[in-house]
Structure 1
């Protein structure tokens, strides 16, 4: 036997100051194990979060016993391997110390062969309280570092914010959409590995030059050999094989083998082509017996991806190019899918990534306050053709820069870059989220952080920042990432070392986070004037639907300012901000349950405005990533898909707004509207624009058609129209204009346009006729009304999605929708054909005051 692997199982746990051991699940966390054993109540329900802050003040230990196959004694190496320990941990084998860990994001390994004996062995992992561990570091530093999202008050710590000292998921300490649950536990796989002779520890297919004609690659094979060895390194994929004679020395070494492929299948992101993937297998072969003694396989896609920043008349571009083709990035910011990440199943990951693809996205940003995601996340992005903007795990805080901390970060970066670098989806490594702009070292701006420090402290804090984000991390990316670009901070104008570095809304360079709408209560119209070269963050909140809210609150707490609603709103004035904006734009909801629905309509309207504004300004603007894709617990937030995976109104609007051919109707100036077609297609398109004016009480009043030539990868203006020419003296509050884009007689996009704000539209009472489409076997339905119906919401008995939802139904114009059920854990598909069960169809008129 040359190698051996044993998965550690049958764990138990307890608080270190207690005697009773309880069953534990690994991978897992203390919180989820306490819940499973009935020690605590559901952390997400009601105001339970506040009652559970004692957990992170304790030390915890996990224990397992194991008996290895007797053959382990013949192996030269036997290692204990933890893919993730959260966070400060000491591991002992049979009572003898084996390793200590101090970084949630690193893989930990130690040789334990001298500690093992025949028969049963015992492993104990003792987790030290991250709070108790880091409080002395704060005292030693002598001043607090900014960490504005650290909810230390909720944790019973006053203003003692210690999150910045731990290499641990920042959002565990709370965020303005997430709770404070500072976890501990064995959060990724734990196993024992043994081997003799050579063992492959890593395989990287470096893509040196890739075109449609040829791919020049290098297989980088890391090998740990217990002895000298001579033989052949063989790498293969499909029917191609490359070989090289090698001679190994005892110890760790890296061997290279050049690979050349003609006419390779390229990997493309969604919308540009197929995300073709290759499986590469590397083997160490003894020639005499043609025997494989070690092997490793990886899956990758062949592509060239780069961030292009070229000077132009407006400043400098900020766009991604994939295989030489400019990509308009359409997507969202991703946060962890759960406060307890070990609860995120493969099905939940698939549901999120499939949702992104269903909605026309081609990029997700893995935001820097969460985790370096599980392998399955990136594998699914590879398969679905979604690019990944990958932050390092630093966000909205200043960090220490002592030698031990920097060394820890360097190893963390190496671990994660190496783990992820074979994924073709990876498009960018970004140093951090919002720290450069928050501190704003070279200008009188930012979040007011640096004003709290004297000049010496400021320079020291900034020097520590530069050490991490301008030295350690870019060096790691350059050394290990295989040519992927690095961007120091998001947002950022340019790395200049002076006032020009600061990102602002109209800089003409870099990427932008625009939060004037929401935080500054600016009108939605400002989305049209605050446009950067790449919009990497912006957002607007809403509540989940009623069924989701009732999972964390009883009927008696359904009020905007109830204790539970405020506990599940982490953004300070968030609930009141939603109401303020609703008063500006929408009719008044008749009760709180109606408020939930109307908040989703409001959120969708805001983000639709933003996306259309960004897309209509291509190629000046070449990316729009809204905040945020998902939730980590049930909460009022900026997510388009709630914690349970249910699509909000926003998700359906995003799907329409991210179509490769999108029709946009914009008010160009007083009394005029401009109609344009935005195309992300790589070929020109001929079609027809049909403008139809309807009486909201029923009847087609007028219709015009225009020829459309939509140029490839461009914005094509179709027409500009005056209100008076369209209305011809009619009451603007009594009509709706529908713009439809037709290709070969089929409508591929349509947009209703209203001449007055929604709150000034006197909606008629409507009766929506719902008819099952013959032959659909109960999966498709036709909806029709004689009058205008706004924001039709179809809800189903079973979990799933509709082909469209939260749409306006025009008078006398039928709308067909299809239902697809959520695939579940037993299906390989995220959405499968199925019947919705009982349908409920409602619209805005059902939720507003008479």
Structure 2
């Protein structure tokens, strides 16, 4: 690792920008050369049709998209949230729907590109994907990014099809398979008064979409995030985790740069790191110019210290400012030991903002000797957390818009909240959501997406969950707002309190619970676990560290003397609330 001089302490902003310009000019002669990775966003010109073609929309649909939203937008169907339309439009969830995109591609222009990656950032949920009538793969998890190598399939005229299966029938098929193996997992169906659908726990999908006590059943289907064609040489920079800690004199950034590569060859790389508000030097990681990176573990890890006096700390809402520092990373990755070919698409970039703060979960013996404390300490100050439970801003994931999110989070700030819990029956929220939380000083208690149910532990299900946890942990963990991860919503309590009649086979359900949450979810969260971060909680509520003695299935996981608890009240008349 080496550094390049940027400027001196005390430079004016103009002087720093001038020096940065000179530095970039210098780096062009010293840094490994290459062209930028190119991305084509397939966000327009989609058509939608049901299985027999009787219900269609022309090729003017845009992403993000879902079938209820798309057909309502054209007035083909009414708003699913009006009156009894959640029931009256249920036929849409019983059908299969195909999204089709016909796009042209300049094969000759890109003939020197090595890797063509078709990436789906969010498919809801069970689908088959075909390009030019060739099967690319099948999806079964709306929380996972799916990428396919299409280098040998692209033509001048292309037809991309995403055939989305009915989630209701897909869930039923999976439930029947478990029943046949005598491995069923409850609950089968929501209460009848919800007018919902059954077996949502079979799917890695927003659990509330089949009905919940707070909302209707709208079993969503669609492309709820973007679809992109990525063109690059060998690897691209996908996520960056910045773990921040502090000692007597410095803040330290422990930085992990995670790359995606579709090939099965080791490769070479150089990473350039800019932090113009923090460092008077640009950091160049050139270790891997001569030492190849393994395609099996494509990550670059390094540490960068910053003197304490150079940093303004980040604070939760009500306790100080939310200063955020921009960081920028440029990765150059290539195959040949002698360096990248001229004009090869080797450069990818990632920019993010970080806040410098320490955060601890304090679980020490209570003064009265009964159990442990359970509180957060931020920047050395013990803080009373005030907040609420955050359910999805819309039952249709494609309508969880920045405008809705901004309104809700700004309202939370104005109500003097400093922490909210992203509930496990919804979705891992958008980058915009966590960026807003960072800037508003709203800490996030982040559930993983499991709620009020037992779940399968088949090899296929666990493999999908592993990928889900890895991807989302790497995407979210750098945010100053992320306070702690929790493995699920209320599933420990549901198990030991027999909510779903699990006592008849309690040993099996306990073993499966530990396999899913300890052996899979918590295990995969280790990829972003560091001493400076609180250890993830297995469940919410739980008894915190006191759960260890029970191997994380406590007889009373809502013990008032340990961990966190659910203190929500019933809906009370205003006269009762005043009393």
Report TM bin, short chain: 0.7 to 0.9
For 1:630-652, what per-residue CA distance to the aligned partner results, in whole angstroms no more than 9, with x for missing partners?
xxxxxxxxxxxxxxxxxxxxxxx
Shift of 1:218: 2.4
Q: TM-score, normalised by structure 2?
A: 0.82
- Residues 1:270 and 2:306 aligned together: no
**CA distance, structure 1, for counterparts of residue 293 and residue 551 of structure 2:** 50
TM-score between the two structures when normalised by the length of structure 1: 0.57
Which residue matches 2:111? Answer: 73
Show the 5 A alignment for 1:160-309. 161-196=198-233, 198-207=235-244, 209-211=245-247, 213-223=249-259, 232-239=270-277, 240=279, 241-247=282-288, 249=292, 252=295, 253-263=298-308, 264-284=311-331, 293-309=347-363
Q: Relative to 1, partners in 2 of residues 1:15 and 1:216: Cα closer, same or farther, differing over 3 Å?
A: same
Counterparts of 1:500 and 1:84 in 2: how far apart (Å)?
A: 33
Question: CA 1:140–1:228 in 2, change beyond 3 Å: closer, same or farther?
Answer: closer
Out of 462, 466, 471, the residue aligned to residue 406 of structure 1 is 462
* CA displacement, residues 70-120 of structure 1 (integer Å, 9 cap, x when unaligned): 4332211111111100000111111111121110110111111211112x2
Question: Does the 8 A contact of 1:305 with 1:427 survive in 2?
Answer: yes
- Structure 1 residue 307, shift from structure 2 partner: 1.5
CA distance in 2, matches of 1:147, 1:425: 34
Q: Match of 2:536?
A: 486
* 1:151 to partner: Cα distance: 5.2
What's the CA shift for 1:418? 0.7
1:532-543 alignment, distance < 5 Å: 538-541=568-571
1:353 is the counterpart of 2:403: no
CA distance in 2, matches of 1:499, 1:304: 27
State whether residues 151 and 173 of structure 1, in contact with CA within 8 Å, keep that contact through their aligned partners in structure 2. Answer: no
- Equivalent residue in structure 1 for 2:436, among 352, 372, 380: 380
2:138 to 71, 91, 100: 100
Q: Distance in 2 between matches of 1:433 and 1:330?
A: 19
Match of 2:499 in 1: 447
Instruction: Name whichever of 348-357 and 131-140 sits farther off.
Output: 131-140
SS of corresponding position for 1:73: coil
1:362 aligns with 2:409: no
Is the 2:361–2:374 contact (alpha carbons within 8 Å) kept by the matching residues of 1?
A: yes
Q: CA deviation at 1:323?
A: 2.0
SS at match of 1:41: coil
Structure that is richer in strand per residue: 1
1:23-66 deviation line (CA, Å, top 9, x unaligned): 43321111111212333222111122211222211111000111
SS at match of 2:110: helix
Task: Select which of 495, 502, 511 maps to 1:463.
Answer: 511
Q: Is the 8 A contact 2:421 2:445 kept in 1?
A: yes
1:510 counterpart residue number: 563
Contact residue 223 and residue 254 of structure 1 kept, 8 A: yes
SS of the residue 2:542 aligns to: coil
1:13 to 42, 45, 48: 48
**For the structure 1 residues 285 and 137, does the alpha-carbon distance in structure 2 shift closer, same or farther, using more than 3 Å as the test?**
closer
- 1:268-292 CA distances to partner (integer Å, 9 max, x unpaired)? 1112221111111122469999x99
Aligned to 1:472: 520
Alpha-carbon separation, structure 1, partners of 2:418 and 2:507: 40
Q: For the residues of structure 1 that align with 2:175 and 2:267, how far apart are their CA atoms? A: 51
How many matched pairs?
512
User: For 2:565 and 2:101, how far apart are their aligned partners in 1?
Assistant: 49
1:216 is displaced (CA, Å) by 1.7
Q: Identify the residue that residue 786 of structure 1 maps to in structure 2.
A: none
Q: 1:32 maps to which residue? A: 69
Q: Match of 1:122, SS?
A: strand
Q: Deviations over 1:122-141 (max 9, x none)?
A: 10000011122221222232
Partner of 1:435: 491
1:150 aligns with 2:190: yes
Q: 1:430 to 1:156 in 2, by over 3 A?
A: closer
TM-fit CA distance, 1:506: 5.6
Alpha-carbon shift at residue 150 of structure 1 (Å): 2.9
* Partner Cα distance (2:268, 2:215) in 1: 54
Distance change in 2, residues 1:149/1:316 (3 Å): farther
The alpha-carbon deviation at position 403 of structure 1 amounts to: 1.4
In 1: Cα distance, 2:154 partner to 2:202 partner: 34
C-alpha contact (below 8 Å) 2:240/2:474 kept by paired residues: no
Q: 2:155 aligns with which of 100, 117, 136?
A: 117
Distance 1:112 1:450, change over 3 A: same
**Cα offset, 1:15, TM superposition:** 0.5
* Partner of residue 330, structure 1: 386
Q: Is the CA contact 1:79–1:112 (under 8 Å) kept in the aligned structure 2?
A: yes
Change (3 A) 1:232 1:509: same
Give, in whole Å, the separation in 2 of the partners of 1:149 and 1:355. Answer: 35
SS in 1 for 2:475: helix
Give SS of 2:506's match: helix
Distance 1:398 1:25, change over 3 A: same
Question: Aligned partners of 2:249 and 2:47: how far apart in 1?
Answer: 56
Cα distance in structure 2, aligned partners of 1:178 and 1:38: 23
CA distance in 2, matches of 1:371, 1:258: 32
1:54 counterpart = 2:91: yes
Mark the runs of 5 or more structure 1 residues left unpaired by the alignment. 515-537, 542-577, 586-601, 607-756, 758-850
- Residue 138 of structure 1 is matched in structure 2 by 175
Cα 1:233/1:148, change in 2 over 3 Å: same
Q: Is the 8 A contact 2:63 2:225 kept in 1?
A: yes
Q: Residue 79 of structure 1 contacts residue 113 of structure 1 at CA under 8 Å; is this kept in 2?
A: yes
1:789-824 deviations in whole A, cap 9, x for unaligned?
Answer: xxxxxxxxxxxxxxxxxxxxxxxxxxxxxxxxxxxx
Moved more, 221-230 or 232-241: 221-230
Alignment correspondent of 1:341: 397
Whole-angstrom CA distance in 1 between matches of 2:55 and 2:559: 61
- Cα displacement string for residues 757-804 of structure 1 (whole angstroms, at most 9, x for unaligned residues): 6xxxxxxxxxxxxxxxxxxxxxxxxxxxxxxxxxxxxxxxxxxxxxxx
Q: Is the 8 A contact 2:241 2:475 kept in 1?
A: no
CA contact (8 A) 1:307 1:320 kept: yes
Say if 1:73 and 1:213 are closer, same or farther in 2 by CA, change over 3 A: same
Distance 2:302 2:515 in 1: 34
Give the SS at the match of 1:180. coil
Q: Any idea what the Cα deviations from partners look like across 1:354-413, whole Å, max 9, x if unmatched?
A: 101111110010010111111111100000011000000111111111111111111110
Describe the SS at the equivalent of 2:510.
helix
Distance 1:278 1:100, change over 3 A: same
Q: For residues 514-573 of structure 1, what are the alpha-carbon distances to aligned partners after superposition, in whole Å with 9 as ceiling and x for unaligned? A: 3xxxxxxxxxxxxxxxxxxxxxxx1454xxxxxxxxxxxxxxxxxxxxxxxxxxxxxxxx
**Alpha-carbon distance between aligned partners in 2 of 1:210 and 1:266, rounded to the nearest angstrom:** 11
Residue 287 of structure 2 aligns to a residue whose secondary structure is strand
With 1-10 and 168-177 compared, the bigger mean Cα shift is at 1-10
For residue 121 of structure 1, give the secondary structure of its aligned residue in structure 2. strand
